[in-house]
């Protein structure tokens, strides 16, 4: 009887010790998803450079808008300098849309303009050093800077979870922004685009202004007011998927899906007006 009690105590002690060891080791081997995100972002910050290729696409009520498709490549040098340029869609650029989205990024139509941009990060802000192939405010590449997108993820209001069933040696983090954050992000991007095309002399004196400039300014103000009104009516959902190399804690790919809908506005067929903007970029050649 005494031996049985001793065995039970030994067994209980072993089980308790095992539980304590698992508890202490668990966070090291199974870090919370948000912590894994921070490690991946730190890994990118610590690399000297990396190359990337990506694609973007727009769906309007489920139908692709070919004129909005864009394939691009680029590289990072000296931690904070990014070069981006458009590429042809036959260079192995990723075609699959956001994880879980049964959508394919369509090829750019023939005659798509060639763009080039070079940016540098100073004091936390990205500034445009040079660009080619576009009029002011027309170049889409600066907004597709994947390093800026990764930088932003750290401070956005979000929910981070880890996807199950990923390929061996990798993890996929699902990052969903709150609706308020999604709207703030969209509004900031659209306002930046509007500011880029604002006529020179935005603080013009209407009594002394050139008539042509005055007319352009009035048109810009009208369109900007319309934009602000539309932003109040939309519903926005933004989800990112970050694939990470477990061993090196480095991003392998970043995919995003932004769904914008206007519940009170319907098409002729009666369906809700909906836009889905998709981007995907693969990282390789870390230095």
Residue 196's pLDDT is: 80
User: At residue 258, does pLDDT exceed 50?
Assistant: yes
Integer CA distances (angstroms), 249 to 50, 170, 171, 202, 244, in order: 14, 9, 10, 46, 6
Give the pLDDT of residue 201.
52
pLDDT in tens, 162-207: 999 888 999 999 999 999 999 999 999 888 888 888 886 555 455 5
**Is a pLDDT exceeding 50 seen at residue 39?**
yes
Q: What is the mean pLDDT of residues 267-278?
A: 75
Among the ranges given (122-136, 137-151, 154-168, 224-238), the one the predictor scored with the smallest mean pLDDT: 122-136
Q: Please say whether the beta carbons of 92 and 53 come within 8 A.
A: yes
The percentage of the chain sitting over the pLDDT mark of 90, rounded to a whole number, equals 44
Q: Looking at the predicted structure, is the pLDDT value of residue 15 above 90? A: no
Query: Is pLDDT above 90 for 276?
Result: yes
3-class secondary-structure state, position 186? helix
Once rounded to an integer, what is the mean pLDDT over residues 267-287? 84
**HSE (side-chain half, CA atoms, 13 Å) at 216:** 14
DSSP code at position 169? T
- The whole-number pLDDT of residue 199 equals 81
d(CA 207, CA 209): 6
Average model confidence (pLDDT) for the chain? 79
pLDDT tens per residue, range 58-72: 999 889 988 889 999
CA dist 18 → 13, 185, 280 (Å): 8, 46, 43
Which domains can be identified in the chain, with CATH numbers?
A: 32-180+236-284 (2.50.20)
Burial class (CB in 10 A: 0-12, 13-18, 19+), 84: buried
């Amino acid at each position: 009887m005494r031996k049985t009690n001793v065995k039970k105590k030994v067994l209980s002690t072993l089980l308790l010790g095992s539980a304590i060891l698992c508890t202490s080791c668990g966070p090291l081997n199974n870090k919370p998803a948000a912590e894994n995100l921070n490690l991946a972002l730190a890994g990118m910050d610590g690399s000297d450079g990396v190359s990337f290729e990506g694609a973007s696409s727009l769906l309007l009520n489920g139908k692709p808008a070919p004129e909005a498709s864009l394939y691009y490549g680029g590289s990072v040098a000296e931690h904070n300098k990014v070069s981006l340029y458009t590429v042809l869609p036959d260079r192995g650029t990723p075609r699959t849309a956001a994880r879980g989205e049964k959508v394919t990024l369509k090829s750019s139509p023939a005659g798509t303009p060639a763009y080039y941009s070079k940016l540098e990060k100073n004091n936390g802000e990205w500034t445009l050093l040079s660009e080619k192939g576009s009029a002011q405010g027309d170049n889409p590449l600066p907004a597709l800077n994947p390093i800026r997108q990764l930088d932003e993820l750290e401070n956005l209001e979000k929910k981070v979870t880890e996807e199950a069933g990923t390929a061996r040696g990798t993890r996929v983090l699902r990052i969903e922004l709150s609706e308020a954050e999604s709207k703030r992000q969209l509004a900031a991007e659209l306002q930046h685009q509007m500011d880029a095309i604002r006529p020179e002399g935005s603080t013009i004196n209407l009594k002394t202004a050139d008539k042509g400039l005055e007319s352009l300014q009035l048109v810009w103000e009208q369109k900007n007011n319309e934009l602000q009104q539309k932003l109040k009516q939309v519903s926005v959902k933004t989800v990112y998927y970050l694939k990470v190399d477990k061993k090196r804690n480095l991003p392998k790919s970043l995919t995003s899906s932004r769904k914008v809908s206007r519940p009170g506005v319907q098409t002729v067929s009666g369906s809700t007006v909906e836009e889905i903007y998709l981007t995907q970029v693969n990282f390789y050649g870390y230095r």
